[in-house]
Amino acid sequence: MERAEKTEKAAKAHSAGALTKRRAAWIAVLVVGAGAAYYVAATTRPGEPGYYYRLMSPLVCAGLLVAEELTERMLGVRTSDGTSAFIKLFALACIVGGKAFGLYGVVYRYDKLLHTVSGVLFTVVGAELYSYGRTVSPVAAAAFGVLVALASGYLWELYEFAGDTFFGLSSQNWADGVVSYSPETGLWTVTDARGTALIDTMTDMIVNFIGSLVTAPFIAAKARFSERIALRK
């Protein structure tokens, strides 16, 4: 009886600690987001290309993180505290850091780095959600994680395409390959027949896939190791 009470107290303490960590993470997101919005407003004038898109970046970031929390509650699942913090940090790096602060044009290969990390992150997220509260095949969990990573990469490219289409941006680097435009003929002269946007998009998805493939075996191995430890107990 005494052991059961100690276990219950430990569980409550762990739950309270986890809630505190998640609240702290949300406060950090809000503070950084507010700072990013102020930075955009102070350094960019209304009417400049991408002004409103960059200004909305912190709001988009917060909206996606809220959607993540609501999805977990609706499905009755939960990512680990470490993964939850990783998600928030990654969202800040991508949307706030990349879009609002313009790090894509400052840090070398920042875009490719984040796409590779996204493959790692969302493979872990998918595996955790798939195996939450039940015993599943480690291989199946890892495979599901890879599918989630690929889907996340696809949705991100849709997000960038929307920004380029409706806000005049060049998130997919289409403008990098434009040499000239002829108003008379309506023809564009470009550096690559396939278009720099296509090359950028495909390489983004390839490094995302590589990140997920590298991560999947580690997830399966960790799950098998945990199973063996549980059986010994």
Residues 111-148: tens digit of each pLDDT? 999 999 999 999 999 999 898 888 888 999 999 999 99
pLDDT digits (tens, 9 = 90+) for 154-200: 998 998 898 888 877 788 888 888 888 888 888 888 888 778 888 99
Residue 27 belongs to what domain range? 1-103
Query: Where a domain ends, among 71, 86, 103?
Result: 103
Indicate if 119 and 193 belong to the same structural domain. yes
Indicate if 30 and 129 belong to the same structural domain. no
Q: Is residue 38 scored above 70 in pLDDT? A: no
Asked whether 197 and 174 are in contact (CB, 8 A), the reply is yes
Query: Where a domain ends, among 56, 88, 103?
Result: 103
Indicate if 159 and 124 belong to the same structural domain. yes
Indicate if 62 and 143 belong to the same structural domain. no
Phi first, then psi: give them for residue 182, nearest 5 degrees: -105, 110
Phi first, then psi: give them for residue 57, nearest 5 degrees: -55, -45
Indicate if 21 and 43 belong to the same structural domain. yes
Cβ neighbours, 10 Å, residue 74: 8
- Please state the domain count of the chain: 2
Indicate if 69 and 89 belong to the same structural domain. yes
Indicate if 130 and 97 belong to the same structural domain. no
Indicate if 96 and 115 belong to the same structural domain. no
Q: CA–CA separation, 187 vs 54, rounded Å?
A: 30
Q: For 210-225, what is the mean pLDDT? A: 90
Q: Which of 26, 141, 21, 150 is nearest to 77 (CA)?
A: 141
Indicate if 87 and 147 belong to the same structural domain. no
Indicate if 18 and 54 belong to the same structural domain. yes
Q: CA–CA separation, 165 vs 159, rounded Å?
A: 10
Angle at 72 between CA 56 and CA 30, to 5 degrees: 35
Indicate if 115 and 191 belong to the same structural domain. yes
Per-residue confidence (pLDDT) for residue 13, from 0 to 100:
42
In 3-state terms the chain splits into helix, strand, coil percentages (rounded to 5) of 80, 5, 20
Indicate if 138 and 179 belong to the same structural domain. yes
Asked whether 13 and 132 are in contact (CB, 8 A), the reply is no
Q: What are the b/e assignments for 128-146, b being 16+ CB within 10 Å? A: bbbbbeeeeebeebbbbbb
